[in-house]
């Protein structure tokens, strides 16, 4: 990631947002697959 080169703290602060986005995408995919 570009942020890790600039600031390690900035990269660590982005991890929860990355995890939340991945979880939301997983839920969205599940809804799309189960929707007839």
Residues 6+ apart with CB under 8 A from 11: 1, 3, 4
Q: How confident is the model at residue 4 (pLDDT cuts 50, 70, 90)?
A: low
Q: Does the pLDDT at position 1 exceed 90?
A: no
For residues 19 and 7, give the distance between their C-alpha atoms in angstroms, rounded to a whole number.
Answer: 19
> Per residue in 5-17, pLDDT tens?
678 788 788 899 9
Q: Name the nearest CA neighbour of 23 among 33, 13, 15.
A: 15
The DSSP line for the chain is: -HHHHH-HHHHHHHHHHHHHHHHHHHHHHHHHHH--
């Amino acid at each position: 990631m570009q942020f890790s080169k600039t600031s390690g703290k900035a990269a660590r602060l982005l991890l929860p947002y990355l995890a939340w986005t991945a979880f939301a995408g997983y839920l969205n995919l599940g809804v799309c697959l189960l929707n007839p």
